[in-house]
Amino acid sequence: MQIDRWLIAATATLICLSGNAVHAQWRHEVGERNPFKGGPEHAAGYADDMVRTKEMFLFTCNTADNVELAWQTRRRVSYDAHERVRRASFRIALIVDDKPAIYARARGGVVDFDKLAVFASDPKEVSRLAVDVASASKGVAAAVEMDGKIEISTPFPLGAAPVAVGAMVKGCKLYGSTSGS
């Protein structure tokens, strides 16, 4: 399944991002130029490397037309619920500062045997989320909506989010701000 391969790759990237993390931090990395995708891959994300509660939130892009968001949440999924997760309808909601929530349609999956993960790939929707995080001054909170119900919500520490995600926004030339859905 396409999402499973992408989530494995995103998880590996996030592990690299969290490599030197004390407990949690926002980081930006630039990969090699990929002529098939139009430029170098930028990755900006948050990684909490606590062993049992690992959470990773990652934006990636090569160009403004190739922008994605993957979030490995702390939410545990029982083995019996794996199929329900694969069939469900998902959205990622983001609240930045005091703005209204903004959303990106997403697909769900299970990684690390029991962790809920979501993946959004609509360039316009994900760009909106990234641009808002890059402009944050007070805080960032995210939620996973599954079949119309909030399954998990997390306030992320602001820390270096504007710098890390801002570098990715600039590197991939993502522009336009948002508020509202």
Place of tokens 């701000």: 177
**Structural domain span for residue 11:** 2-171
What are the pLDDT digits (tens) for 118-157? 999 999 999 999 999 999 999 999 999 999 999 999 999 8
Q: What six digits make up the tokens of 64?
A: 């403004």
In-domain check, residue 98: yes
Is residue 99 scored above 50 in pLDDT? yes
Cα-Cα-Cα-Cα dihedral of 165, 143, 93, 10, to 10°? 50
In-domain check, residue 181: no
- Quote the pLDDT of residue 176: 59
In-domain check, residue 57: yes
The CA angle 86-77-133, to the nearest 5 degrees, is: 80
Count of structural domains, the chain:
1
Stretch 70-77: mean pLDDT: 89
CA within 13 Å, CB half, 81: 15
Measured CA distances, 175 to 61, 68, 74, 166 (Å): 13, 15, 30, 11
The CA angle 109-145-97, to the nearest 5 degrees, is: 120
In-domain check, residue 36: yes
In-domain check, residue 179: no
CB–CB of 45/14 below 8 Å?
yes
In-domain check, residue 180: no
What's the gap between Cα 88 and its chain centre?
18
In-domain check, residue 41: yes
Query: Which pLDDT band, with edges at 50, 70 and 90, does 68 fall under?
Result: very high
In-domain check, residue 177: no
Q: Is the pTM of this model over 0.85?
A: no
Give the domain CATH number at 24. 2.60.40.1880
Stretch 53-73: mean pLDDT: 89
In whole angstroms, give the CA distance from residue 128 to residue 143. 16
